[in-house]
Amino acid sequence: MTEIRLSERDSAFVDDLVANRGYRNADEVVAAGLRLLGSEQGKFIELQRLVQEGLDDMATGRVHRYASADEMLDDIKQMSADTKTRARY
């Protein structure tokens, strides 16, 4: 079994979560924290992937230039409407 050492502040936080927030024990608090960390890590990895995809698109010339911010906003609105339409079917 892994031993975890907590600062006084963290230990008090865990104790409060157990006493007042519905966790049965410190193990449940740690498990919940690890699930949250895993979820956030997954989101971060996906964000990195999407940024790299955008950089790759730029490097290969797959870009669209807009004459104005209004033109870009109109395009975004149209893409959103198209996505909603496809989601209905």
State how far the Cα of 80 lies from the Cα of 71, in Å rounded to an integer: 14
pLDDT tens digits along 8-53? 999 999 999 999 999 999 999 999 999 999 999 999 999 999 999 9
Which whole number is the average pLDDT over 58-76?
Answer: 94
State how far the Cα of 36 lies from the Cα of 43, in Å rounded to an integer: 11
What is the per-residue pLDDT for 89? Answer: 65
pLDDT band for position 2 (cuts 50, 70, 90): confident
pLDDT tens digits along 20-29? 999 999 999 9
Q: Burial code of 17-35, b = ≥16 C-beta within 10 A, e = fewer?
A: bbeeeebeeeeebeeeeee
Place of tokens 């924290």: 33
Which whole number is the average pLDDT over 75-84?
Answer: 91
Residue 46 C-alpha from the chain's centroid: 8
**DSSP letter (8 states) at residue 9:** H
